[in-house]
Each structure stands twice: as structure tokens, then as C-alpha cells.
Amino acid sequence: MPIISLPQEFNQDDLYVDLRPILGRALYLKCEGFNFAGSVKLKAANEMVTAAERSGVLRPGSVLVESSSGNLGVALSIIAAGKGYGFRCVTDSRCNLATRLLMEALGAEVVVITEPDPEHGYLGARLNHVRDLCASDKRFVWLNQYTNQNAWKAHHRTTGPAIARQFPDLDVLFVGAGTTGTLMGCARYFKDNHPSVRIVAIDPVGSVSFGTPAARRMLPGLGMNVRPPLLDEDYVDEVVHVAEADAIRTCHLLARRGFLFGGSTGTVVSGAASWLARNDARDLTAVAISPDLGERYLDTIYQSNWVRDLYGDDVLGADPLSTDARAA
């Protein structure tokens, strides 16, 4: 029976969903949303905060500040509340309302950027605001999830080994690419310890992380408007790009079977299903990482009018595993 005194001390690390009955092909989904932050970002947040405390950068009276599209902001809100730090999250208008309200309920101050940077979009504008805050007051401590090596080290230490323990014969691992902390931590772990495992990164269409053109992206979480500083493509075997409409279709497919996941999970599962369909995967052991759950997306991904207004009338009626959907 786990007994904890701080919310970050608990994480369910051994829960997998067998998606074969839903997808028609073998894929085990590692669920990272069952902690008090509701996402995989709790691991990186805890590792970064602990390292900052250890180095003396973060001390009593400090105010954490971070740019986040949502999940890391919630994780830092929880940790800051438990440890007695202030926290200011700089996000943008794509952040779900439920996520903003959750951070505020935990005592965080949320700054919503409404005007994108002309060159680097909303992310660039968020980072400019964070830099201005840090220059204005020495109490602000920016952990900088985009460059902080502890973000990937958290997954090298925990997530990668946890998957290897459960699946010693793993053939392929699918990981979503955002700031790439989860991706690089897992990829480095398997390349160091189980080099035969194929690492497939899942990136949204419109993200520039792997050199593809920028385009409109409305789902927070995965994808970047600039190349992620943590990314080392030498550790990635293949990249699959997923259109947001296909991610939403996949979220609804999973929900119709009782599994309410977030947009990042829909993207990863859609990309993994597409890769498995194109490859001879009958004898492969495949795992995908689910970063988040779906409750925070009830007014977006799971709201029919929002989906139709942005993606058209046919999105919710199409089979996400059809040939047309996979080719989108």
C-alpha cells in the first residue's frame, strides 16, 4: 500500500493497455497519466526541481517560471504547491481551459500569450516573456524544459528501464516528440542497453522538429515550432508524422471502447498503428507511450462543434485506421 507525503512521490509505472482488440494488431500502450499530475510530465518536472534544489539554484522564496502548453505546467503546479514555491506558467491560447483552471486551483499564476512571435510562433513569444520575467526579478527560477538535461535523464532512469523489465523481448518503441525529453531518455536508455530495439518518434504534421515544414497546429503537447535542443536524431531510427485530424479520430475510437486519452496519446497511437500497418508486424512486440489522459480535452477534442469548426464535418465519422486516414 503506497503511503506518500508529497504528490510527486506516486506514479503508476506498470499499467499497459493491450490495443489488439481495438486496432486489430498487437500494440501495448504504456499509460503514464495515472499520477496526481495526470501525465508523463511529472517525471521530468520532479527531476528538474530536485536537481535545481540540489545545486542551490532553487531555494526558499524562489518562484518557478516555465513555458508550457499544459501538462508540464500542471506537474510544476503540483510540485510547487507541495514544496511551498510560487509558480508562474507562461502558456498560450491553445492551452485547454480545464488545464488553466487546474493550474490556478493549485495556486499557480497563469499567463496566456495571445500574439505569436513573427518567426517562432507562440513558443517564441512564450520564451521571450519568460526571459523578460527572469530579467525583471531574481526570485524567478526558469528550469527551461527545452534545454534541461534532467528532462531526459528522468526517463533514462525510470521509463526506459520500466518498459525493459516488462518487455524484455521488445522490438519497437513508439514515443511522441514534443520537447523530446521522454523520447531522448527512452531512446538513449535502449540504445545503451538494448540496441536492437527500434525507436520510432511520432511527430505531428506542422511540427518542425525533424525538418518538416511548419503549419497550423491546434493540439497542445507534441510538436515544436523550433528544433528541440534536446533532440539527437542519432538515437531515433524512424519518424512518423501524424495529421491532427487522424489523432482526433484515434482519440474518439479509443473513447468508444472506454479509454479516454488526451491528444498526445491519440497522436502516438495513430502513428504507431500506421507504422505497424506498413510493416510486417505480426511477430513484433511493440510498445507505445501514452503521455496523458483525456479529461482536460472535453471542451476541445471531445467537443463535436470544436472539432468540426477546425477540421471539417467528416473527421468524426471516418475510420482512423482506414487507408485514407493513414495517408492523411
Residue 206 has pLDDT above 50, yes or no: yes
Sequential DSSP letters for 158-183: THHHHHHHH-TT--EEEEE-SSSHHH
Read off φ and ψ for residue 117, nearest 5 degrees. -70, 140
pLDDT digit string, tens, across residues 209-241:
999 999 988 888 899 888 999 999 999 999 999
pLDDT digit string (tens) for 80-113? 999 999 999 999 888 888 899 999 999 999 999 9
The predicted pLDDT at position 120 comes to 78
Q: Give me the chain's average pLDDT, please.
A: 92
pLDDT at residue 327 greater than cutoff 70: no
pLDDT tens digits for range 158-184: 999 999 999 999 999 999 999 999 999
Q: How many CA atoms lie within 13 A of 147 on its CB side?
A: 5
Q: Using the 8-state DSSP alphabet, how is residue 70 labeled?
A: S
**Whether pLDDT at 246 is above 90:** yes
Query: CB–CB of 327/245 below 8 Å?
Result: no
- Grid coordinates representing 172 are 519497437
What is the reported pLDDT for 65? 96
List domains and CATH numbers for the chain: 7-31+155-327 (3.40.50.1100), 41-142 (3.40.50.1100)
* Mean pLDDT in residue range 267-292: 93
Average pLDDT in the 276-282 region? 85
pLDDT digit string, tens, across residues 33-76: 999 999 999 999 999 999 999 999 999 999 999 999 889 999 99
Structure letter (DSSP) for residue 214: P
Burial of residue 284, with CB atoms counted within 10 A of its CB: 0-12 exposed, 13-18 middle, 19 or more buried: middle
Question: Which residue blocks in the chain are alpha helix, DSSP H?
Answer: 20-23, 41-55, 71-83, 97-105, 121-136, 150-157, 159-166, 181-193, 244-255, 263-278, 304-311, 323-327
